[in-house]
Chain A
């Protein structure tokens, strides 16, 4: 079997997802032996043209040129895999999508005409068909290596969709929500990071995006019980994955003027006097 021809493409991003490749350290050399890294601007000045077997794409679509470019990449690639929060959810920069793009542009530029930027920062799935998505800000290196191994073996990449809590409990961390009263997003957030935040004795802030079946309303009510305001709960959801549908809707729910949710756990007679 011939080596897979792999490309890594950057869109609007911090470069952190590509860096997960460069941070493989010596394993990067092993990877370079097992696959043909044909196009990776940050790693090599030797840029090979398509077609590619697999294109990894990082960043979000945020300019007209980027829409054209992602469509081209789709045409040139047998498989396209989105990596990272920007690629899979529009990223933290999707905070511009909440109706402020025009205001941002006007507020910050002496000469807005020099700048080409779309109103919304969007994930690749809004523009093309994807073969797989690797979530996280940044994606976990273990998951990335697993995906590369799956691709080399020719099987469909597996990405788990369960919540952070399951991983967190397997690791034996103390629950920061129950034990410390921190507004941890672990119950509604996708696993993959290794439950890093609870291990560091802090609350998860949702940087792997929504898990497959989290109850954002119930968790918000639990936060109410911890003393957070609806505004603060809105901000919890409107963060790294603010544009992913589940968190987007949750943040809108807590923003709405007529919410009448009661805190959880609800107060029973004689309790917490």
Chain B
């Protein structure tokens, strides 16, 4: 048997619609395609002609699981275009808001999407029959993330509180106090979660590639920082387009991206690897306890990176709420002006870059959005090729499972990953 075809006609437990196809001939991978068939939704085109005020509500709809990331990248980019400056209070509120999304998205991914692979279940609901306390703990942390989002925007999916310049309303003192109590009581759960992920039996693989993330002088990066790579890249958001080159491939509605002609990697593991020295001491202690030598090039460690970031986000949120004073107004006044603005923030899945061109009244003339999943696509395919070569003696079913769990490490958000750019296709 010289030719094997491995097909995963529909990837389950990921966000959106995708499939994987591979052809193996004489121990070589002759074809491998991670297909994304999320129908195009043309968001970048809808934004044209809409007012700056509408943008946060539009872009939230790109992705149900990470609307905060879209709202944050968009508001920062538009503020850059308008040369608006926000206050330290608003900056802190935005960080708290982002903590909510990291907790919600990471907890959901760990328990509902990824962990069933490592414990041999089809779903979290099935896993809960044997491990009720683990699943309940995960859902509790997910719920706390949702609670943070609700006090800012009423609901975790498409929250309504964000505007360019800040928030429509600041949380009341009572809301903040109640939330603080809930979060503080969950710290032991977040610690236990990190230890639990570190004890999972994870495949040992090694996939060296440039890690790309934001980096900030003294914080673990969320809303601000320069774009860095583990191989020396250090640029501002405005230079992104000159370094990250996107191109269309025939088998996917999402574009692929390369850095210096090579696949690269964004997301929690890349972010953690680039920012080990920016962890709060309590999280750093947990990181030491894992017994893993960081920075790690094993994508399966992403689940541990997510758990560490849940812990970090919870600590940050507690810290921010302890020092919270309700501002008189949760936004700065905005004066539109013609210009171009760009910004990148750290979505749970990795760096999310936005660029807006606006006219003097603040209507969008052009928008460009590069989500983390598009950036990871080339790396995901490279990883899958390597996985196949390592696992040639697996039977088809085991190989399929290995590849699916390998893709889930990247937490691809396929709903987001559709975006377009007019480019000639590079042909080898």
A residues at B contact (CB < 8 Å): 10-20, 22-23, 25-26, 28-29, 32, 37, 40-47, 62-63, 66, 91-93, 95-96, 100, 104, 107-111, 114-117, 121, 137-138, 140, 193-194, 196-197, 199-202, 205, 207, 232, 235, 239-240
Instruction: Give the residue among B67, B158, B250 with the most A Cβ atoms within 10 A.
Output: B158
Residues on the B chain within 8 Å of A121, using CB: 41
Q: Contact between B156 and A23 (Cβ–Cβ < 8 Å)?
A: yes
Residues on the A chain within 8 Å of B40, using CB: 62, 115, 117
Q: Taking the nearest CB of chain B, how far is it from the CB of A202, in angstroms?
A: 4
Q: Contact between A108 and B421 (Cβ–Cβ < 8 Å)?
A: yes
B339 contacts partner chain A, Cβ-Cβ < 8 Å: no
Q: Contact between A45 and B112 (Cβ–Cβ < 8 Å)?
A: no
Distance A20 CA – B112 CA, assembled complex (angstroms): 13
Q: Contact between B253 and A115 (Cβ–Cβ < 8 Å)?
A: yes
| Given known A25-B142, A28-B139, A239-B54, contact A108–B422 (CB-CB < 8 A) | yes
Q: Contact between A138 and B158 (Cβ–Cβ < 8 Å)?
A: yes
Q: Contact between B158 and A45 (Cβ–Cβ < 8 Å)?
A: no
Q: Contact between A42 and B12 (Cβ–Cβ < 8 Å)?
A: yes
Residues on the A chain within 8 Å of B394, using CB: none
Residues on the A chain within 8 Å of B163, using CB: 202
Residues on the A chain within 8 Å of B415, using CB: 13-15
B294 contacts partner chain A, Cβ-Cβ < 8 Å: no
A-B pairs with beta carbons under 8 Å apart, 21 shown: A12-B39, A14-B415, A15-B64, A15-B65, A23-B104, A23-B157, A25-B146, A37-B125, A41-B10, A45-B123, A93-B42, A110-B422, A114-B248, A114-B253, A117-B40, A121-B41, A140-B155, A200-B169, A202-B161, A232-B51, A239-B54
Q: Mark B132-176, 1 if CB is under 8 A from A, else 0.
A: 100110011011001000000111111011010001110000000
Distance A15 CA – B135 CA, assembled complex (angstroms): 22
Q: Taking the nearest CB of chain A, how far is it from the CB of B326, in angstroms?
A: 13
Q: Contact between A18 and B250 (Cβ–Cβ < 8 Å)?
A: no
Distance A46 CA – B14 CA, assembled complex (angstroms): 13
The list of the 9 closest CB pairs from A to B, nearest first, reads: A16-B64, A196-B154, A44-B123, A46-B122, A108-B420, A32-B125, A45-B12, A12-B39, A202-B168
Residues on the A chain within 8 Å of B39, using CB: 11-12, 62-63, 66, 116-117
Distance A47 CA – B404 CA, assembled complex (angstroms): 15
Distance A131 CA – B112 CA, assembled complex (angstroms): 29
Distance A219 CA – B83 CA, assembled complex (angstroms): 35
Residues on the A chain within 8 Å of B57, using CB: 205, 239-240
Q: Contact between B12 and A109 (Cβ–Cβ < 8 Å)?
A: no
B58 contacts partner chain A, Cβ-Cβ < 8 Å: yes
Distance A42 CA – B135 CA, assembled complex (angstroms): 17
Cβ-defined partner of B157 (8 Å) among A20, A93, A115: A20
B50 contacts partner chain A, Cβ-Cβ < 8 Å: yes
| Given known A19-B157, A200-B168, contact A45–B42 (CB-CB < 8 A) | no
**Further 16 A-B residue pairs, CB within 8 A, beyond A32-B125, A115-B40:** A12-B39, A16-B63, A19-B64, A25-B142, A28-B139, A29-B125, A32-B128, A62-B39, A66-B39, A104-B42, A108-B422, A111-B250, A114-B251, A193-B155, A201-B169, A205-B160
Distance A107 CA – B136 CA, assembled complex (angstroms): 48
With an 8 Å Cβ cutoff, the count of chain B residues facing the other chain is 70
Q: Taking the nearest CB of chain A, how far is it from the CB of B6, in angstroms?
A: 16
Q: Taking the nearest CB of chain A, how far is it from the CB of B60, in angstroms?
A: 8
Distance A15 CA – B161 CA, assembled complex (angstroms): 20
B286 contacts partner chain A, Cβ-Cβ < 8 Å: no
Considering only CB atoms, which chain A residue lies closest to B40 in the complex? A117
Q: Taking the nearest CB of chain A, how far is it from the CB of B390, in angstroms?
A: 22
Cβ-defined partner of A23 (8 Å) among B62, B142, B420: B142
Cβ-defined partner of B143 (8 Å) among A14, A25, A29, A138: A25
Distance A197 CA – B167 CA, assembled complex (angstroms): 12
Considering only CB atoms, which chain B residue lies closest to A242 in the complex? B46
Q: Contact between A202 and B169 (Cβ–Cβ < 8 Å)?
A: yes
Q: Contact between A22 and B112 (Cβ–Cβ < 8 Å)?
A: yes
Q: Contact between A10 and B17 (Cβ–Cβ < 8 Å)?
A: yes
Distance A9 CA – B61 CA, assembled complex (angstroms): 18
Tell me the chain B residues, 80-139 only, with Cβ under 8 Å from chain A: 104, 108, 112-113, 116, 122-126, 128, 132, 135-136, 139
B359 contacts partner chain A, Cβ-Cβ < 8 Å: no
Cβ-defined partner of B12 (8 Å) among A28, A41, A232: A41
B424 contacts partner chain A, Cβ-Cβ < 8 Å: yes
Q: Contact between A26 and B125 (Cβ–Cβ < 8 Å)?
A: no
Considering only CB atoms, which chain B residue lies closest to A18 in the complex? B64
Q: Taking the nearest CB of chain A, how far is it from the CB of B166, in angstroms?
A: 12
Distance A253 CA – B223 CA, assembled complex (angstroms): 41
Q: Contact between B64 and A17 (Cβ–Cβ < 8 Å)?
A: yes
Q: Contact between B45 and A108 (Cβ–Cβ < 8 Å)?
A: yes
Q: Contact between B62 and A43 (Cβ–Cβ < 8 Å)?
A: no
| Given known A25-B140, A95-B46, contact A43–B125 (CB-CB < 8 A) | yes
Residues on the B chain within 8 Å of A194, using CB: 154
Q: Contact between B42 and A200 (Cβ–Cβ < 8 Å)?
A: no
Q: Taking the nearest CB of chain A, how far is it from the CB of B17, in angstroms?
A: 7
Distance A199 CA – B160 CA, assembled complex (angstroms): 10
B381 contacts partner chain A, Cβ-Cβ < 8 Å: no
B292 contacts partner chain A, Cβ-Cβ < 8 Å: no
Distance A41 CA – B38 CA, assembled complex (angstroms): 14
Q: Mark B285-321, 1 if CB is under 8 A from A, else 0.
A: 0000000000000000000000000000000000000
Q: Taking the nearest CB of chain B, how far is it from the CB of A223, in angstroms?
A: 14
Considering only CB atoms, which chain A residue lies closest to B153 in the complex? A200
Q: Taking the nearest CB of chain A, how far is it from the CB of B358, in angstroms?
A: 16
Distance A43 CA – B140 CA, assembled complex (angstroms): 17
| Given known A10-B17, A109-B422, contact A138–B125 (CB-CB < 8 A) | no
B425 contacts partner chain A, Cβ-Cβ < 8 Å: yes
Residues on the B chain within 8 Å of A47, using CB: 10, 12
| Given known A66-B39, A107-B45, A109-B422, contact A235–B50 (CB-CB < 8 A) | yes
Q: Taking the nearest CB of chain A, how far is it from the CB of B220, in angstroms?
A: 25
B44 contacts partner chain A, Cβ-Cβ < 8 Å: yes
